């Protein structure tokens, strides 16, 4: 089965759908890989690198499109300079996997339908845990967020980090990031690593801990409204919330040096969050990087694809930020494609499984028949333990605090029903009674100590909050707790007896194990706490 990677013809596009390393993985999956000559040159990958990885070099794009079974691309098929269209070159019945953006490209879907093609869109991968390794949008957003900070630094006329020099003091740059998704978090990490003071805002309160864990300040509004939408994106907010939000941005614009915006709502133009008045209120030399430029921009003055200057404020509207880190972007995107092909069975068991949630979500067309959008997946019932009471939800009506009417059995004084079956307890009681009747008294005493140690020792350590120790440590500490309780019950005997000495040694070793378990856990947790510059962990 042949997989083909043509050269990207989009203006300014430097990425390629597979690097030499990705090519080796595809060959291990059983595919014959064909690369168009020069496909990876703009990403610093030469034809010789692909040949060394085991690929075949094709002389032109027509050879790729017309002969392979699966075409892997970055951008959607585009018109060819001089006439024609890439989609018309696709072999009839072949498979295309790339970014498609189906809601924006109905004409492209019509062309591909005429070719009886099977099309999977990397931009439609469901945002679920199992699909993270195939989530190309997150891979590219991560790169865009990092690159946004680098672009801002190149236009900003000062250091990001503050410095105290013999010539005077240089204050640190202040950066505000709007949107704390994948791109926003990547931008926070890059700006903090350069020493800037970083502030971030997001309509989803759940990202506050992520922002603060990376050393940034989370900007909050005194206005309660849930901002989380489907697929991990933010939803469109109410007019009252937006008014409060705009007031916050206006206040911050007068204080910060750099603004990076990442706010997007799927299927809609980017919301305008930075008005001309806000831009004019910023200090001369400030920078705005608009990651939503391709969808119109979050800044009212953004010109997609261009860098403009408005009254001393630089506004960057690049729409190709991932392409500006082409080697890394190509590597990550190629890895996403490799995982997709592996999940579809590789070359030996290749199939389009309509029951696979990831494949069905990304499937745009099957044998020329348009299958997008996929059927809506019913949400699983929310566990009762995870549900918030209605009164805690914004806008919910208050609920009565009167206790519920008792059940009939409880009303008559009946004992509550046990969730644990009674027969194991009865069996254990019978076994102890039998042992006490026939076994020596010393054995019964030891058995009692053992049972008590197991029950009490386990519960003492096991019920410690999971935030203080990992699951593995909790199990080992619970076992050590059993030893501690048993040893404490036996150490009360005469000091000269071997059992007392053994119990004392057991207590010492178990205590060291428990203390060491908590110490190791604390050190593991500190690895995820970002310290301030110059602060010791």
**C-alpha neighbours within 13 Å on the C-beta side of residue 236:** 9
**366: which strand partners?**
369
Q: Which helix (H) or strand (E) holds 140?
A: helix 136-155
Choose among 12, 14, 2: nearest CA to 38.
14
Distances (CA, A) of 315 to 84, 155, 286, 320, 335: 36, 10, 9, 15, 33
Give the per-residue SS3 of 145-197. HHHHHHHHHHHCCCCCCCEEECCEEECCCEEEEECCCHHHHHHHHHHHHCCCE
C-beta of residue 364 within 8 angstroms of C-beta of residue 370: yes
List the Cα angle 447/453/457 in 5-degree steps: 165
The residues, ordered by sequence, that sit 6+ positions from 223 with a Cβ below 8 Å of its Cβ are: 240, 241, 244
Please report, for residues 54, 209, 522, the alpha-carbon distance to residue 334 in angstroms, rounded to integers and kept in the order given: 16, 31, 37
Burial 1-36 (b: 16+ CB within 10 A, else e): ebbbbbbbeeeebbbbbbbbebbbbbbebebbbbbb
Instruction: Give which of 513, 437, 520 is closest to 481, Cα–Cα.
Output: 513
Rounded to whole angstroms, how far apart are CA atoms 537 and 263? 34
User: Any alpha helices (H) in 301-372, and if so which ranges?
Assistant: 326-343, 357-362
The dihedrals phi and psi of 209, each to the nearest 5 degrees, come to -65, -35
Count of beta carbons in the 10 Å neighbourhood of residue 269: 11
User: Which amino acids are annotated catalytic?
Assistant: 127, 132, 135, 138, 233
**Phi, psi angle pair for 178, to nearest 5°:** -100, 115
Alpha carbon distance 418, 413 (integer Å): 15
Pairing of strands 118-121, 363-366: antiparallel
Question: CA separation (Å) from 468 to 214, 385, 460, 524?
Answer: 21, 22, 14, 10
Residue with tokens 């999940």: 343
- All residues at 6 or more sequence positions from 333 whose CB lies less than 8 Å from its CB, including other chains: 15, 17, 74, 122, 136, 139, 140
In this structure, the dihedral spanned by the alpha carbons of residues 308, 313, 317 and 322, taken in order and rounded to 10 degrees, is 120
Residue with tokens 């705009």: 246
Cis before 354 (ω within 30): no
Going edge to edge, which strands form the sheet with 2-5?
56-58, 32-36, 2-5, 70-72, 95-98, 118-121, 363-366, 369-370
């Amino acid at each position: 089965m042949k997989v083909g990677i043509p050269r990207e013809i989009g203006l300014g596009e430097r990425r390629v759908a597979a690097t030499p390393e990705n090519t080796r993985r595809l060959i291990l999956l059983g595919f014959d890989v064909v690369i168009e000559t020069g496909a990876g040159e703009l990403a610093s990958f030469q034809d010789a690198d692909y040949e060394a990885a085991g690929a075949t070099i094709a002389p032109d794009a027509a050879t790729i499109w017309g002969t392979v079974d699966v075409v892997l691309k970055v951008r959607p098929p585009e018109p060819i300079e001089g006439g024609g269209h890439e989609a018309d070159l696709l072999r009839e019945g072949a498979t295309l996997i790339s970014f498609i953006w189906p809601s924006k490209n109905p004409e492209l879907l019509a062309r591909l339908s005429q070719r009886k093609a099977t099309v999977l869109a990397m931009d439609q991968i469901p945002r679920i845990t199992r699909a993270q390794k195939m989530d190309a949008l997150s891979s590219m957003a991560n790169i865009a967020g990092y690159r946004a900070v680098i672009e801002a630094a190149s236009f900003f006329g000062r250091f990001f980090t503050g410095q105290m020099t013999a010539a005077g003091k240089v204050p640190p740059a202040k950066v505000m990031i709007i949107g704390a998704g994948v791109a926003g978090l990547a931008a926070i990490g890059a700006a903090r690593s350069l020493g800037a003071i970083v502030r971030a805002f997001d309509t989803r309160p759940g990202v506050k801990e992520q922002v603060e864990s990376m050393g940034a300040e989370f900007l909050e509004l005194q206005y309660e409204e849930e901002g989380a939408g489907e697929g991990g994106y933010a939803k469109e907010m109410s007019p009252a919330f937006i008014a409060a939000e705009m007031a916050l941005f206006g206040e911050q614009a007068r204080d910060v040096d750099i603004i990076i915006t990442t706010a997007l709502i799927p299927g809609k133009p980017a919301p305008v969050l930075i008005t001309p008045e806000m831009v004019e209120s910023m200090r001369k030399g400030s920078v705005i990087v608009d990651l939503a430029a391709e969808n119109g921009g979050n800044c009212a003055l953004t010109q997609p694809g261009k860098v403009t200057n408005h009254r001393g404020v630089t506004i960057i509207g690049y729409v190709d930020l991932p392409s500006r880190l082409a080697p890394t972007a190509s590597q990550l995107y190629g890895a996403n494609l490799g995982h997709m092909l592996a999940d579809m069975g590789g070359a030996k068991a290749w199939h389009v499984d309509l029951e696979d949630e990831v494949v069905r979500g990304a499937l745009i067309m099957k044998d020329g028949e348009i299958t997008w959008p996929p059927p809506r997946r019913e949400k699983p019932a929310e566990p009762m333990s995870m549900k918030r009471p209605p009164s805690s939800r914004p806008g919910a009506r208050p609920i009565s605090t009167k206790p519920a009417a008792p059940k009939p059995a409880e009303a008559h004084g009946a004992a509550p029903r046990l969730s644990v079956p009674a027969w194991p307890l009865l069996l254990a009681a019978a076994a102890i009674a039998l042992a006490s009747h026939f076994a020596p008294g010393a054995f019964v005493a030891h058995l009692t100590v053992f049972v008590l140690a197991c029950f009490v020792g386990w519960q003492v350590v096991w019920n410690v909050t999971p935030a203080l120790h990992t699951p593995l440590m909790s199990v080992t500490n619970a076992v050590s707790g059993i030893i501690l309780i048993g040893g404490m019950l036996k150490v009360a005997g005469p000091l000269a007896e071997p059992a007392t000495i053994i119990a004392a040694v057991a207590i010492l070793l178990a205590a060291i194990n428990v203390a060491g378990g908590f110490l190791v856990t604390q050190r593991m947790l500190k690895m995820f706490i970002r310290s301030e510059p110059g602060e010791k962990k």
